[in-house]
Protein backbone atom coordinates (compact mmCIF):
# COMPACT_ATOMS: atom_id res chain seq x y z
CA UNK A 1 0.00 0.00 0.00
CA UNK A 2 1.58 3.23 -1.19
CA UNK A 3 1.45 6.57 0.61
CA UNK A 4 0.45 9.26 -1.85
CA UNK A 5 0.48 12.98 -1.20
CA UNK A 6 -1.96 15.16 -3.09
CA UNK A 7 -0.72 18.75 -3.38
CA UNK A 8 -3.48 21.06 -4.47
CA UNK A 9 -3.41 24.70 -5.47
CA UNK A 10 -6.61 25.97 -3.90
CA UNK A 11 -7.06 29.10 -6.03
CA UNK A 12 -10.37 27.90 -7.55
CA UNK A 13 -11.90 25.97 -4.65
CA UNK A 14 -15.04 24.73 -6.43
CA UNK A 15 -12.98 23.32 -9.31
CA UNK A 16 -10.37 21.82 -7.03
CA UNK A 17 -13.07 20.04 -5.04
CA UNK A 18 -13.89 18.12 -8.23
CA UNK A 19 -10.25 17.35 -9.00
CA UNK A 20 -9.74 16.15 -5.43
CA UNK A 21 -12.81 13.95 -5.60
CA UNK A 22 -11.49 12.19 -8.69
CA UNK A 23 -7.94 11.86 -7.36
CA UNK A 24 -9.01 10.47 -4.02
CA UNK A 25 -11.40 7.99 -5.62
CA UNK A 26 -8.68 6.70 -7.97
CA UNK A 27 -6.16 6.33 -5.14
CA UNK A 28 -8.63 4.53 -2.89
CA UNK A 29 -9.77 2.27 -5.76
CA UNK A 30 -6.15 1.22 -6.21
CA UNK A 31 -5.90 0.39 -2.50
CA UNK A 32 -3.51 3.14 -1.50
CA UNK A 33 -3.51 5.75 1.27
CA UNK A 34 -3.45 9.50 0.70
CA UNK A 35 -3.04 12.81 2.41
CA UNK A 36 -3.77 16.26 1.02
CA UNK A 37 -1.97 19.54 1.52
CA UNK A 38 -2.98 22.90 0.10
CA UNK A 39 -0.83 25.64 -1.38
CA UNK A 40 -1.95 29.08 -2.57
CA UNK A 41 -1.47 28.59 -6.31
CA UNK A 42 -0.05 26.41 -9.07
CA UNK A 43 3.41 27.97 -8.85
CA UNK A 44 3.75 26.70 -5.29
CA UNK A 45 2.87 23.08 -6.10
CA UNK A 46 6.33 21.92 -7.25
CA UNK A 47 8.03 23.50 -4.25
CA UNK A 48 5.63 21.82 -1.84
CA UNK A 49 6.15 18.46 -3.55
CA UNK A 50 9.93 18.91 -3.31
CA UNK A 51 9.71 19.73 0.40
CA UNK A 52 7.45 16.75 1.08
CA UNK A 53 9.69 14.43 -0.93
CA UNK A 54 12.62 15.31 1.31
CA UNK A 55 10.79 13.78 4.28
CA UNK A 56 10.70 10.32 2.71
CA UNK A 57 7.16 9.79 3.98
CA UNK A 58 5.50 9.54 0.57
CA UNK A 59 5.86 7.12 -2.32
CA UNK A 60 4.11 9.21 -4.96
CA UNK A 61 2.60 12.63 -5.52
CA UNK A 62 -0.41 14.11 -7.30
CA UNK A 63 -0.26 17.76 -8.38
CA UNK A 64 -3.66 19.42 -8.72
CA UNK A 65 -4.75 22.92 -9.61
CA UNK A 66 -6.47 25.09 -12.18
CA UNK A 67 -4.99 27.93 -14.21
CA UNK A 68 -7.53 29.87 -16.29
CA UNK A 69 -6.37 32.24 -19.03
CA UNK A 70 -6.81 35.86 -18.12
CA UNK A 71 -6.10 39.13 -19.88
CA UNK A 72 -2.37 39.21 -19.15
CA UNK A 73 0.79 37.20 -19.76
CA UNK A 74 0.56 35.86 -16.20
CA UNK A 75 -1.38 32.82 -17.47
CA UNK A 76 1.57 31.69 -19.61
CA UNK A 77 4.01 32.15 -16.76
CA UNK A 78 1.95 30.14 -14.30
CA UNK A 79 1.03 27.41 -16.79
CA UNK A 80 4.56 26.99 -18.13
CA UNK A 81 6.48 27.28 -14.88
CA UNK A 82 4.21 24.99 -12.87
CA UNK A 83 4.45 22.36 -15.63
CA UNK A 84 8.23 22.82 -15.82
CA UNK A 85 8.51 22.39 -12.06
CA UNK A 86 6.43 19.21 -12.01
CA UNK A 87 8.42 17.82 -14.97
CA UNK A 88 11.71 18.58 -13.23
CA UNK A 89 10.55 16.65 -10.18
CA UNK A 90 9.59 13.73 -12.40
CA UNK A 91 12.99 13.78 -14.08
CA UNK A 92 14.57 13.80 -10.62
CA UNK A 93 12.92 10.43 -10.01
CA UNK A 94 9.70 11.28 -8.20
CA UNK A 95 6.54 9.36 -9.09
CA UNK A 96 4.20 12.24 -9.82
CA UNK A 97 0.99 12.79 -11.75
CA UNK A 98 0.31 16.25 -13.12
CA UNK A 99 -3.32 17.31 -12.77
CA UNK A 100 -2.79 21.05 -13.04
CA UNK A 101 -5.36 22.15 -15.60
CA UNK A 102 -4.47 24.99 -17.95
CA UNK A 103 -7.64 26.14 -19.68
CA UNK A 104 -9.20 29.03 -21.52
CA UNK A 105 -12.31 29.35 -19.34
CA UNK A 106 -14.28 27.91 -16.45
CA UNK A 107 -16.44 25.71 -18.71
CA UNK A 108 -13.33 23.90 -19.95
CA UNK A 109 -12.11 23.54 -16.37
CA UNK A 110 -15.43 22.10 -15.19
CA UNK A 111 -15.51 19.52 -17.98
CA UNK A 112 -11.96 18.40 -17.18
CA UNK A 113 -12.35 18.45 -13.40
CA UNK A 114 -15.65 16.57 -13.04
CA UNK A 115 -15.11 12.93 -12.07
CA UNK A 116 -18.06 11.93 -14.26
CA UNK A 117 -16.62 13.74 -17.30
CA UNK A 118 -12.91 13.95 -18.17
CA UNK A 119 -11.77 13.18 -14.56
CA UNK A 120 -8.35 14.79 -14.82
CA UNK A 121 -7.88 14.50 -11.04
CA UNK A 122 -8.38 10.76 -11.30
CA UNK A 123 -6.11 10.63 -14.35
CA UNK A 124 -3.34 12.41 -12.44
CA UNK A 125 -3.65 9.97 -9.54
CA UNK A 126 -3.57 6.98 -11.89
CA UNK A 127 -0.49 8.45 -13.59
CA UNK A 128 1.26 8.83 -10.23
CA UNK A 129 0.44 5.21 -9.38
CA UNK A 130 1.68 4.03 -12.78
CA UNK A 131 4.93 5.97 -12.37
CA UNK A 132 5.37 4.48 -8.91
CA UNK A 133 5.05 1.03 -10.48
CA UNK A 134 7.79 1.91 -12.98
CA UNK A 135 9.99 3.32 -10.25
CA UNK A 136 9.64 0.11 -8.26
CA UNK A 137 10.26 -2.00 -11.39
CA UNK A 138 13.51 -0.19 -12.10
CA UNK A 139 14.66 -0.34 -8.49
CA UNK A 140 14.04 3.29 -7.60
Task: Write out pLDDT tens, residues 69-107.
Answer: 988 878 999 999 999 999 999 999 999 999 999 999 999
Domain count, the chain: 1
- The CATH number for 111's domain is 3.40.50.960
Output the CA–CA distances (angstroms, integers) from residue 100 to 15, 31, 78, 97, 139, in the order listed.
11, 23, 10, 9, 28
9 forms beta bridges with 39
Confidence (pTM): 0.96
Task: Write out pLDDT tens, residues 10-25.
Answer: 999 999 999 999 999 9
Catalytic residues: 74
Question: Of 126, 55, 60, whose CA–CA distance to 96 is shortest?
Answer: 60
Residue-number span of the structural domain to which 7 is assigned: 3-137
When pLDDT is cut at 50, 70 and 90, the band that residue 60 belongs to is very high
Helix (H, G, I), strand (E, B) or coil at 91: helix
Amino acid sequence: MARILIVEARFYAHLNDLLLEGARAAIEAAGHRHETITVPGALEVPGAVALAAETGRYDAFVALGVVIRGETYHFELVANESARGVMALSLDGLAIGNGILTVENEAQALARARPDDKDKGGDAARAAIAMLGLKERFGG
